[in-house]
A = this chain, B = another copy of it.
Amino acid sequence: LITIGNELLIGKILNTNMCFLAKAVTDLGGNVTRATTVRDDVDEISSAINEALNRKTDFIIACGGLGPTFDDKTLEAFSKAIDRPLELNEVALEYLKERYRRRYGDNPREKFELTSSRLKMVRLPRSATPLRNPVGSAPGVYVKHRETVIVALPGVPEEMQAIFEQSVVPLIRELVGNIFRSEGSLKVTGLGESKVAPLIDTVMLTSPNVYIKSHPRHGQGPTLELHLSIVSESEDVAKNSVKRAMEELSRLVADNGGEVELMKT
**Copies per complex?**
2
Q: Which residues of B contact A22 (CB under 8 A)?
A: 8-11
Taking a contact as CB atoms under 8 Å apart, the answer to whether A34 and B38 are in contact is: yes
- Nearest-CB distance from A54 to chain B (Å)? 11
- Asked if A233 lies at the interface with its beta carbon under 8 angstroms from chain B, I say no
Taking a contact as CB atoms under 8 Å apart, the answer to whether A35 and B19 are in contact is: no
- Asked if A32 lies at the interface with its beta carbon under 8 angstroms from chain B, I say yes
Complexed CA–CA distance, A239 and B186 (Å) = 51
Given contacts A14-B19, A35-B37, A70-B204, 19 further A-B contacts (CB under 8 A): A9-B22, A9-B26, A10-B26, A11-B22, A12-B23, A14-B15, A18-B37, A34-B39, A35-B36, A51-B51, A68-B197, A69-B193, A69-B213, A70-B200, A117-B194, A117-B198, A136-B216, A137-B194, A158-B218
Complexed CA–CA distance, A142 and B158 (Å) = 41
Knowing A36-B35, A197-B68, A198-B117 are in contact, say whether A227-B7 is a contact too (CB < 8 A).
yes
A24 contact from B11, B196, B215, Cβ within 8 A: B11
A18 contact from B15, B115, B204, B214, Cβ within 8 A: B15
Knowing A40-B213, A44-B34, A70-B204 are in contact, say whether A197-B10 is a contact too (CB < 8 A).
no
Taking a contact as CB atoms under 8 Å apart, the answer to whether B34 and A36 are in contact is: yes
A216 contact from B11, B15, B156, B214, Cβ within 8 A: B156
Q: Which residues of B contact A117 (CB under 8 A)?
A: 193-195, 197-198
Chain A residues numbered 1-21 whose CB sits less than 8 Å from any CB in chain B: 6-16, 18-21
Residue of B nearest to A117 (CB): B194
- Asked if A187 lies at the interface with its beta carbon under 8 angstroms from chain B, I say no
Complexed CA–CA distance, A227 and B186 (Å) = 43
Chain A residues numbered 198-250 whose CB sits less than 8 Å from any CB in chain B: 198, 200-201, 204, 211, 213-216, 218, 227, 229
Quick one: CB contact mask for A116-130 with B, threshold 8 Å, 1 for yes? 111000000000000
Residue in A14, A37, A158, A200 whose Cβ sees the most chain B Cβ within 10 Å: A37
